[in-house]
A and B are shown apart, each in its own frame.
Chain A
Amino acid sequence: MAGLLNKLRMMDAAPARPAPAARPQEQRKVYRNETFFPVSLFSDMDCLSPELLTQIFGGDFPDKVSPEDILFFDTETTGLSGGVGTVAFQLGLGYFTPAGFVVEQLLMHDYPEEPEMLRILEARFKRYPLLCTFNGKTFDVPLIRTRFLMNRMPESSIPACHADVLYPARRIWKLRLKQCNLGNLEEQLLGVQRENDLPGYLVPQTYFQYLKDGNFEPLNGILEHNRQDIVSLAQLFFFLCKQVSQPEKIAEKEDLLSLARAMEKQGQKQKAVRCYRLCTGSPMQGEAFRALSVMEKRDGNYQAAVKLLENMLRQGDDPIYACEALAKLYEHQLRDVDRALSYTRQALLMLSEPTLRKDEAVQETKNALQYRYARLRRKLSRSAETP
């Protein structure tokens, strides 16, 4: 009877690679380093307030938030599959101390160090009421929760408040920047240029290679990458806070429009109106007025809505929409059938422009308007009959 191992080897299509013997690690302590950065890297840190955080991230935040309460957090992992076998082998933590902004990095030399590393993380987690990540809600935090569970540690230490920068970043910058990964955001918004950065997809293999050959040097690339991620994350966080707290200072009108929409979605009406108004005079004005008119109409401020729509019409911003919306307002809310009819006619006239492309959407609008037109005519003749 051939030995089982021989049988297993025979099963292989290709001969098994000779595996280097597992090299016992001399280090039995988690690798740890700290890098200090001047606080001057971060601007407008004083704008932080619970209300602002709620505006940006939704949810509740502690009554008082200062930059010292925030733990910036990012992990490097052995894979992206998100299954239970994926390990976060390196943790990056950023926080403010009297001596400046510190990036503390933990790295396990090998798997048996994971529990110790997680215990350090647990202690850090307990110190900070607010966690800040980039895509941590779907990736890092569930992963850490799994790691805690697998190591039979309570997950209660994970800060209850979590500001994930990815989602607001997407809402505010997607329109203008298209790509909203951390790399593109830091380059476009913060002007960061990375040199010789290790691409993320090489991270797992680099770590596995280290486990096999014990050469620590390539890991420095990962640590450097992670350090920069933490600093960028913190900078981006404050940059985001500043933009939302002082929309007047936003130069890019696309960002303003996006911000306004984001605020409207979060139920921050006042701020949304403020941001929409700031779009006046820019190419975003049409979109902004359109949104504003809908908000005003919803609030029962019909005259204000009319003004906005008339303004759109004058400026030539989406005039067909403006006419149709005016017709609706006059017909249903302001009960002025004459004007409603006149705006409907105007819209139909514009739709018959030969230059207009004739697609399905146009045809649909046209049908709706014609239907409205006929109805208004009936109404008008009926009211003429009744004395």
Chain B
Amino acid sequence: MNLDQLLSSLRQNKSFMDCVTHWRTLPATDGSYADFPASMDQRIQKVLEKRGIFRLYSHQAEAFRLAEEKKDFVVVTPTASGKTLCYNLPVLSAILKNPDARALYLFPTKALSADQVSGLYDMITALDMDIKAYTYDGDTQAVARKAIRQTGHIVVTNPDMLHANMLPHHTKWVKLFENLEYIVIDEIHTYRGVFGSHLANVLRRLKRLCDFYGSHPRFILCSATIQNPVELAQALTGREIAPVTGNGAPMGERHFIFYNPPVVNKQLGIRKGAVNETLSVASMLLRNHIPTIVFAKSRVQVEVLTRRMKDATKDAYGFSPRVRGYRGGYLPSERRDIERGLRAGEVDMVVSTNALELGIDIGSLNACVLCGYPGTIASTWQQAGRAGRRKDTAVTILVATSAALDQYVIEHPDYFFGASPENALVAPNNLYILLSHLKCSAYELPFQDGELFGGVADTPECLEYLTENNILRHLDGKYYWMEEDLPSGEISLRSATSENFVIIDITNPAHHRVIGEMDRFTVPMLLHENAIYMHEAKQYQVEKLDFDACKAFIRAVDVDYYTDADMNVSLHILDDLDSRATKGGVDVTLGELRVSTIVKIFKKMKLDTHENLGFGQVMLPQTDMHTVGMWWTIPDSLAARYSNDELQGALVGVANLLGIVAPLYLMCSPRDIRVIYQVKAPITDKPTIFLYDSFPGGVGLSEKAFSMQELLLEQALQVVQQCGCEDGCPGCVGPVVEVGGNGKKTTEAVLKELLGLWQDF
């Protein structure tokens, strides 16, 4: 069957349709085109014509026009809309006009930069001009580096290389920085939270050096569809940014199917495993030879799915070349080979982690199966966009897991298909991050009195602080670097503080291997000694936690319990920043918090029944974190209407619900924020629910949550009202054992009161 036939037969298939919560058909759209701009170089036009391109999509032409007007802009279009031309055309034009002109391309991943450079090469080769484009990353050989610095017109790299290798050695890149005309940043929606806040500061440093070298580069940015692309682009670049929206590329008909595996345990709200369901959906596509990509959430899942799919399609010799796995850990050559196989049609099915999510061109696929919700709407569309890059029909099937986030999305198609509610947030002025980059920038070029770093008014005070600490020397109106080492070495763009713990698997004594890292604030919860730590669905026990050396040693085990650390959180309000009231007249406050956590004991819980099997002691010091948070203070008048137990159950429920809903709207991972309650908060002396950023200094999540707190409460109420469970489940207020018998009802009641919806008391 072809895809159209298969889809109509699926509609008749009752057992399949029983699991489908939503089937959305997006009609095919015609393209919207524009003639080649008159000002575009004839040589470029000829190259495009040779490839069968005789007009531009409207958004490509718009981008070219804005570039001509010397504007900074962000292109917001979906996958497969030809957005690379949006930046390659202006950049190549600029270089043809001025052979000294330079451009810097930033991509978040290596695979992506390799792919973009190969596309760029093709254009340049066709142009037959002496234009050099190079990738500059960790894989670049030392001998090649010199040539890149001297002669590279277009240098393709990632933020980490820019931060740690290029900026601290900028005098080796004089040619680039003196002649920099364009800075191209693709996939900016991936630069959110800590990573984005770092990037914004790296760009502040870059702009400062460009000033020094007398260049004034313009920014061309690209983003997937999110609610605030312009705001994000402005926060990252510190410039006014014009948006290019309105996708001019034609699209084939696309089907989006939400598939929820059947319930197997109603009480606990547990469904059939997503991996097995994914397998059966994918096998059906493979049997019909429909080119398909399957996205799994972890490397292990990729391996499991690949092996099972390969087993199902073995030929007489035991080979199954039509199914390939693809994940981050593969060698570059293997990856290139798979990419080629896909483009050439020799491969029918690829099972991948999100390594393939970002715009790598892999040719024409018609179907996409997602094993679990990818975490954000933007990611989901990007993964879905891998299918149907050409004009024919495409289908995406989202197979939900039992996780609360998945269940929310699969039951709320409007959340998914409506205007994107996702906000990519960055906080470039997070003190920890700001200070780290201020150091780097001071290393790269001494600050002068009165100079502001990225326009930050607090710059003088920060410089003063660094001077007090003997890192800088303030003399004759300048701040000089006064340390031996390079500051960028110890700053990782992927975490807020430099103190990350490495997790070392010592199961095989001959081969200890690092399997992950964790920030120091989460370590006491999950990596205390004797904790059962889950990594890629495998159980490990923590044997030793070396707190000073920042190392946790774990060993694989097979036990029937999990551990749950009892974290004692005490919150201290440092500063109120803003406050308002909910419709129900409850005070909501935004402020700075000191979060002190100490873990003293942990519980051992039986896996299936959650019975308490006993306790263990944890001997770890208290950790303090300064962050930003918001809190709802429940007035006595409201609290008085419930018994103590009821109230506590409701607080648990509301906190649980907010923990589910907030990440959806803040476009962050559930562990990026924490929601806790206190029955009698020492500060307010009243029952209080706190939501705070789990990053030192905060990355803007709580501010946003504060501004949309009513929406969050409404969504929480909706979840609890629509959940099919009886007295609570992990997908809404939490299991009955936590909220108590009446928990679900009182949670709903309290939420209504907060929202001013409670009528009959």
Residues of A within 8 A of B (CB): 1-5, 7-11, 16-17, 19, 22, 24, 78-85, 87, 110-112, 142, 145-146, 149-150, 204-205, 208, 211-212
Contact = CB atoms under 8 A, between A and B. Distances in A.
Contact of B470 (A3, A19, A79, A85): A19
Q: 7 nearest interchain CB pairs?
A: A85-B443, A111-B480, A146-B171, A79-B484, A83-B168, A85-B481, A81-B486
Contacts of A85: 168, 442-444, 481, 486-487
Interface string B427-465: 000011001000000111110000000000010011011
A112 B431 contact: no
A205 B485 CA distance: 11
18 contacts: A8-B461, A8-B465, A11-B626, A11-B696, A17-B469, A22-B474, A24-B475, A79-B484, A79-B486, A80-B484, A81-B486, A85-B481, A110-B475, A111-B446, A111-B478, A146-B171, A208-B470, A208-B484
Nearest to A112: B476
Contact of B171 (A9, A22, A80, A149): A149
Nearest to A148: B171
A128 to B, nearest CB: 24
Contacts of B484: 78-81, 204-205, 208
A87 B478 CA distance: 15
B431 A11 contact: yes
B180 to A, nearest CB: 16
A209 to B, nearest CB: 10
Nearest to B464: A5
Contacts of A8: 431, 435, 461-462, 465
B170 A84 contact: yes
A212 B470 contact: yes
A22 B473 contact: yes
Given A4-B458, A146-B171, 19 more contacts: A2-B575, A7-B431, A7-B626, A8-B461, A10-B626, A11-B432, A17-B470, A79-B486, A81-B168, A81-B484, A81-B486, A84-B445, A85-B442, A85-B444, A87-B480, A111-B475, A112-B478, A149-B171, A208-B470
Contact of A149 (B174, B475, B486): B174
B169 A84 contact: yes
Interface residues of B, number: 40
B395 to A, nearest CB: 51
A315 to B, nearest CB: 41
Contacts of B465: 5, 8-9
A17 B470 CA distance: 9
B482 interface: yes
A22 B475 CA distance: 8
Contacts of A208: 470, 482-484
A285 B626 CA distance: 73
Interface string B133-145: 0000000000000
Contacts of B461: 3-5, 8
Given A7-B431, A8-B435, A19-B468, A84 B444 contact: yes
B76 to A, nearest CB: 36
A163 B467 CA distance: 40
B574 interface: yes
B462 to A, nearest CB: 7
Contacts of B473: 22, 110-111, 211
Contacts of A146: 171
Contacts of B485: 79, 81
A295 to B, nearest CB: 29
Interface in B251-297: none
B36 to A, nearest CB: 42
Nearest to B574: A2
A79 B476 CA distance: 23
Interface string B566-577: 000000001100
A378 B481 CA distance: 76
B171 A145 contact: yes
A7 B429 CA distance: 13
A19 B169 contact: no
A112 B481 CA distance: 12
A87 B442 CA distance: 13
Contacts of A24: 475
B594 to A, nearest CB: 8
B439 to A, nearest CB: 10
Contacts of A111: 446, 473, 475, 478, 480
Contacts of A78: 481-482, 484
B169 A83 contact: yes
B650 to A, nearest CB: 34
Interface in B533-577: 574-575
Contact of B462 (A1, A3, A4, A10): A4
A172 to B, nearest CB: 25
Most buried by A among B171, B458, B469, B486: B171
Contacts of B470: 17, 19, 208, 212
A10 to B, nearest CB: 7
Contacts of A110: 473, 475
**Which of A4, A24, A142 neighbours the largest number of chain B CB atoms within 10 Å of its CB?**
A4
Interface in B472-525: 473-476, 478, 480-487
B73 to A, nearest CB: 31
Contacts of A5: 461, 464-465
Nearest to B594: A10
Contacts of B442: 85
